[in-house]
Structure 1
Amino acid sequence: MSVANRRWFTRLTVAAGLLVAVVALLIAPAGPARAHAVLVSSSPVASAVVPSGPAEVVLTFSESVRKVPGKIRVIAPDGSRADRGEPSFSGGVVTIQVDPAGGRGTYLVSYRVISADSHPVSGAFTYSVGAPSTPPVDSGDDSRADPVVGNAVKVAKYVGYVGLLLLVGPAMVLAVLWPRRLPRRGPARLAWAGLGLVALATVANVLLQVPYTAGGGVFDVTGEGLSAVLGSTFGAAHLVRLGLLAAAAFLLRPVLAGPVGRADLVILGILGTAALLTWPLAGHPAASPAPAVSVVVDAVHLGSMAVWLGGLVMLAGFLLRRADERELDAILPIWSRWAALAVSALLLAGTVQALIEVATPAALVDTTYGRLLLGKIGLFVLVIAVAAYSRQLVRRRTAAGRPTSMRRAVWAELAITAVVLGLTATLVQTTPARTAGSDVAGGSPGYFSTTLTSPIYSLQVELDPAERGNNTVHFYAYTKDNRPQPVVEWRATAALPSAGIEPIEVPLLPLTDNHATGEINLPAAGEWQLRVTVRTSDIDQATVTATVPIR
């Protein structure tokens, strides 16, 4: 193929990739940008006793939500379905048609919806017609929060970050800094591996989003669920990324093979920038109070990380081992300036992100998101110190003659930042501090979650809000191999020994065979002792205890 034909084919391929991206954006449903919706009211009110059966149940969330097919139910006292037809969604209001001629007694309303940042929100409450009765159990609810799925999502995101830096580093260095005499085969393979990891992680994120939002195990991927994910903003962003990766692959080949013209580099840079934007568009930044700022800042943060760490991989893996003293004298000062700019951009973007996502200083220590962010900052300070040492080596005239010291410093930077990437992958799946610490329409700030273990089961505990007043607690029981553990009987108490408060019984409502919920009023702040006894058979039971900080 001639050079002219190759360029024509490349530009045609790029145009096709961009067309895929545009089509994906056009089919994505538009909606207001918010995050982590909270149920602020219901009609009938939770735990209310009404004289006659309502014709509809209305759920009002703090922000717009989308439906998870088949995951909103109203269960009658006799265990039958009382809801009629599909619920209607209008922004943050969900209306469920109910048979008003149902029997007297207690009804169970269970729901699972998706907030604007693609995270599921679930819960349940009861109301009674005429007089309360024994609450029914939603035996058809299989939307369990499988911890394996949650961990798999984090791993997929981590793999995507690693792939991004392995792609950006070799492409950047080969295009600008690579000595002509050195072979390109090793860095080229690394870049293709990075491209493959990004593509693999993108597909994995889409597939895992189905059980993550709908509930179930890793392999519970249905056509209906996949269609719903692909039709969302989350799915559109990932389709755009795949299209841009396909287009970039054709431009990447000549860049990895040898020097190319400036036009090809500019087009590749534009495609790379567009691809970077798909990460924040599919997560918290797109649902922040200032989405335009958050998306741009997060893309800058991610791009700076890829430039810095990708360059370090090339430096440690290839240049410091293969380049001679004269080549290193020319390369290291340029790389040092690049690294300084990338780190400066990381610091600036990270600061803006923290101000938006954390909102208040107290949220740094009072929320899981804030504590994870503090850990990330601490590690980042450490890696900056190592980077400063590396920069001092570059500035010394003998630095090029001592590549071993440089290589050790670079590997230290990479080791620490590998942990930072792990924290980042966890942060993007954690409720932002601005939401966890906000007071929404009488709701409350704070959230507590932990996993307790016993010889016969593990127990996922969630309490919201973790403050004085009314609280909702959820318990999920699992076997040792992370399968749902059927429970025969639940018992729970909460006590505050430091204030002389004796154990308070927590009334629990079983929602599924491994999931129970309850409401309790915690009257004082302090370190509450939550004691849970789970009986899994006639003879097998175990008690676990958690310390819950209540503000």
Structure 2
Amino acid sequence: MTLRLRTTLVLVAAAGTLVLPAAAWAHAGLVRTVPRANVVLDRPPPTVQLTYTEAVEPRFAAISVTNAAGEQQTAGSPRSSAADPKTLVVPVKRVAEGWYLVYWRVISVDGHPVRGAFEFAVGPNPGPQPQFVIPSISETAATPRLIAVRSVVFVAIMAAIGLFVLRIATARPVVRRVPESRLRPLDIAFGIASLVGLIAIPIYLLMATAQFALRSAFDLEILSVTGALAGAAAVLVVPGLSGHAAQTSPRGAMLLFDWLHLSAGSIWVGGLIGLLVLWRSFPVARRVAGLVVCVPRFSNTAFVSVLVLIGSGIGASLIHLPTFASLWQTSYGQALLVKIGLLSAAMLLAAGNLLRTRPRLIAYRERPELAPGAASLLRRLVAGEVLLVVSAVVAAAVLSSLPPPSKALAQVGGASAHVGPGPVAAVVDKNGYRAELRVSPNRAAAQNTFSLDITRDGKPVTGAEVVIGATMLDMEMGTQSYALTETSPGVYMHAAPALVMVGHWGLSFDVTPKSGAPFSVLLVDRANG
């Protein structure tokens, strides 16, 4: 086996480890609980079971079961189910009749914290629901340190992939056509980028896991578990690195868009970096000749990559963003706008290279006096492109640290009122009914009382079925539904920890009168801590 063949095989193997799908980086989502939320059980449950979309590390999971007095009712630590690794099980003491709050908090394999809460009761006479208090923990994956390390991961891995493609698909003819030229600098650049990426991945996992497990990064348990995660995640980079693609429906289309987007971006940014490496490595006397071979070939590849980048980005955005206004109304959309702006500026520089530099280099043999200026212009424009594209990758790191907006945002155009922060009191007339809605104290991570007074022609509407649904609008968390109880004629109330985190909530009051057509009242609420 020749040295060149061995080198090529090593490069292929290394690049292969960097492009395998990474569904394992997805955020954990709760899909099932035992007991179910708001259920009234005949007998105490021996355990509480939570099933997620992916396996989570039980040592960094927090599951509490508390009674009305705030007393802990768990009888041990969470553990993974022997039958299903995606299910966490926590033993529960033999509890008395009454209501109980289950609060859970887990860490996804990409370091993102996910949490939630629900209630259940033990009957037959559990009584009214008490005023539970949900633990409040400030947490975000969009911290400067985590974004910085995540950006390094993105840039290094994308650069490695692009350098590899440039090395095997674009720059190989240079060795045959240009004397004294070598591709070893590209091999070195690829090796450095790969090494940086594969080192940065476990560092990111270590920092994120330590932050959200509320422990030191030098905790031996953190180090041991993160080491195992990194060993699996080091070869699971793109697509799905941000985790959003693997969690968004339709999952297949999103993974395809994600893979195309990251692959196209990698070929572009890595190729640009490779051109700068070649520009510096070519002997001065052979620089123009080398660029004449490489630049036209790379321009064709980059042009296709940019088209794929645009198309896949539009496709992913149409799926991720429920409304056009989400672009400026949500943090996710605002980060996306920054990324689009940076890429647009980079594309303008790329157009300059395509329309000015490339033709001058192609005309090198007929008009050699144009070549030195074209080579100098190429270096400046490519350096500018690299700066802008790398900045866009940093914006992508921020973007992947933020949850996409909830699909429920598509419905808020029909909201009867926008309320909050603070106690809510709104009056809505609908279908001949007058509904007076109240939410108090309207605080996140706390027990809130939801009430609805319904009248028709000035008379209370009794015997109706009223259900409130609370949907987080800033991210996909599902809808928590609660039945309101008629406490006096036409007055329906329920107390529940429905607003489990700070942000915008869609509160839907669905009313089914004893006689008459059902109707709904939707409020867009802002809950603060």
Q: TM-score, normalised by structure 1?
A: 0.59
Cα distance, 1:198 vs structure 2: 1.0
Instruction: Name the larger-Rg structure.
Output: 2
1:348 is matched with which residue?
311
SS of match in other structure, 1:425:
helix
| 1:447-479 deviation digits (Å, cap 9, x = unpaired) | xxxxxxxxxxxxxxxxxxxx77999x9xxxxxx
1:267 is matched with which residue?
none
1:310 is matched with which residue?
270
Cα distance, 1:82 vs structure 2: 0.6
Separation in 1, partners of 2:133, 2:424: 28
Asked if residue 202 in structure 1 is aligned to residue 201 in structure 2, the reply is yes
SS of match in other structure, 1:163:
helix
- The residue identity in structure 1 corresponding to 2:380 is R
Structure 1 pair 20/82, CA: closer, same or farther in 2 (3 Å)?
Answer: same
**Of the candidates 263, 276, 297, which is equivalent to residue 334 of structure 1?**
297
Structure 1 pair 55/42, CA: closer, same or farther in 2 (3 Å)?
Answer: closer
Structure 1 pair 409/432, CA: closer, same or farther in 2 (3 Å)?
Answer: same
Q: Which runs of 5+ in 1 are unaligned?
A: 242-276, 447-466, 474-491, 510-515, 524-545
1:401 is matched with which residue?
372
**Of the candidates 409, 434, 448, which is equivalent to residue 519 of structure 1?**
448
Structure 1 pair 7/161, CA: closer, same or farther in 2 (3 Å)?
Answer: same
| 1:370-425 deviation digits (Å, cap 9, x = unpaired) | 33223322332222122111111112446533122222222221222122101111
1:460 is matched with which residue?
none
2:155 is matched with which residue?
162
| 1:162-196 deviation digits (Å, cap 9, x = unpaired) | 21244345542454546442465654543332122
SS of match in other structure, 1:428:
helix
**Of the candidates 493, 498, 522, which is equivalent to residue 422 of structure 2?**
493
Asked if residue 83 in structure 1 is aligned to residue 74 in structure 2, the reply is yes
SS of match in other structure, 1:310:
helix
**Of the candidates 301, 304, 321, which is equivalent to residue 261 of structure 2?**
301
- The residue identity in structure 1 corresponding to 2:371 is A
Separation in 2, partners of 1:166, 1:218: 31
| 1:227-268 deviation digits (Å, cap 9, x = unpaired) | 48846xxx5751435xxxxxxxxxxxxxxxxxxxxxxxxxxx
Asked if residue 240 in structure 1 is aligned to residue 239 in structure 2, the reply is no
Asked if residue 110 in structure 1 is aligned to residue 124 in structure 2, the reply is no
Q: Which runs of 5+ in 2 are unaligned?
A: 429-435, 453-501, 506-523
Separation in 2, partners of 1:8, 1:412: 35
Structure 1 pair 521/113, CA: closer, same or farther in 2 (3 Å)?
Answer: same
Asked if residue 99 in structure 1 is aligned to residue 93 in structure 2, the reply is yes
Separation in 2, partners of 1:371, 1:15: 37
**Of the candidates 115, 127, 132, which is equivalent to residue 122 of structure 1?**
115
2:221 is matched with which residue?
223
Structure 1 pair 547/427, CA: closer, same or farther in 2 (3 Å)?
Answer: closer
Quick check: 2:198–2:234 contact (8 Å CA) kept in 1?
no
Cα distance, 1:315 vs structure 2: 2.6
Asked if residue 385 in structure 1 is aligned to residue 360 in structure 2, the reply is no
Structure 1 pair 306/137, CA: closer, same or farther in 2 (3 Å)?
Answer: closer
Separation in 2, partners of 1:278, 1:132: 46
Separation in 1, partners of 2:359, 2:9: 45
Structure 1 pair 237/345, CA: closer, same or farther in 2 (3 Å)?
Answer: farther
**Of the candidates 256, 280, 287, which is equivalent to residue 247 of structure 2?**
287
Cα distance, 1:159 vs structure 2: 0.7
1:463 is matched with which residue?
none
2:64 is matched with which residue?
73
Matched length: 423
Separation in 2, partners of 1:113, 1:370: 26
Cα distance, 1:199 vs structure 2: 1.1
SS of match in other structure, 1:280:
coil
Quick check: 2:206–2:223 contact (8 Å CA) kept in 1?
no
Quick check: 1:145–1:216 contact (8 Å CA) kept in 2?
no
Quick check: 1:105–1:133 contact (8 Å CA) kept in 2?
no
Structure 1 pair 293/147, CA: closer, same or farther in 2 (3 Å)?
Answer: closer
| 1:322-348 deviation digits (Å, cap 9, x = unpaired) | 443333333322222122122122223
Structure 1 pair 236/64, CA: closer, same or farther in 2 (3 Å)?
Answer: same
Structure 1 pair 422/191, CA: closer, same or farther in 2 (3 Å)?
Answer: same
| 1:268-296 deviation digits (Å, cap 9, x = unpaired) | xxxxxxxxx64426722233334444334
Equivalent residues in 2 for 1:369-380 (5 A)?
Answer: 369-380=332-343
SS of match in other structure, 2:422:
strand
